[in-house]
Amino acid sequence: MTEKDLEAELRAANANRAILYYLFFDELRKAVGEEQATTILKAAIYRRGAEMAEPIARFAPDRIRELGAYHLAHSAGGGRIFNPEIGRLDEEGFEVLNTTCPLKEAWQAYGLSEEDVAKLCEIAAAVDYGKFEGAGFRFECDTWKPGKRGCCTLKAYPGNAGK
């Protein structure tokens, strides 16, 4: 299998995950309302993110430059899936804009409204909150909104030891 084939499979797997997120969300919001559906999905996705925190926990609570270098070196598809663009990388913060996102692209291709795409970006960001907070960093994510370039901006800052 070629590198191009592997990248295509990675994109397809991410697109499949995106559509599943949407279908779960849509069924849940029909059953329990949008607010509770959002809360439930964020909790489950956050939990998965926290399970994925171990590889970056060694940089916590304040080795931000190393965290940023690690994040970029391990960006999906050698960086070609999310095309990260560094906004900041110093001792006090790591901020990176994902200029592309296979999840957002899949939701758009599926025909979802901009409102639903923005809501799903907010929900999907829970995996990053779980991962970075679970590792011991303070974390913020500016998720995609209509008119925003690219997709989400991930922001990690020194956290508290012992998390």
Q: Mean pLDDT, the chain, as a whole number?
A: 96
**Cα–Cα distance for residue pair 75/121, rounded to 1 Å:** 18
- pLDDT at position 22, please? 98
**Cα–Cα distance for residue pair 109/138, rounded to 1 Å:** 33
Model-level pTM? Answer: 0.94
Task: Place 163 in a pLDDT band, splitting at 50, 70 and 90.
Answer: very low
- pLDDT at position 160, please? 77
**Cα–Cα distance for residue pair 102/9, rounded to 1 Å:** 12
> β-strands 84-90, 153-157: how paired?
unpaired
**Under a CB-based contact definition with an 8 Å cutoff, are residues 98 and 72 in contact?**
no
**Residue type at 77 in one-letter notation:** G
Domain ranges within the chain, ordered by starting residue:
3-157
**Cα–Cα distance for residue pair 4/145, rounded to 1 Å:** 30
Assign domain 3-157 to a CATH class: alpha beta
Q: Does position 1 have pLDDT exceeding 90, yes or no? A: no
Q: Is the dihedral of CA 44, 12, 105, 109 positive or negative?
A: negative
Dump pLDDT digits (tens) for 24-74: 999 999 999 999 999 999 999 999 999 999 999 999 999 999 999 999 999
Mean predicted confidence (pLDDT) in 106-115: 98
CA distances (Å), origin 28, targets 3, 21, 36, 152: 37, 11, 8, 24
Q: Does position 161 have pLDDT exceeding 80, yes or no? A: no
Mean predicted confidence (pLDDT) in 80-97: 97
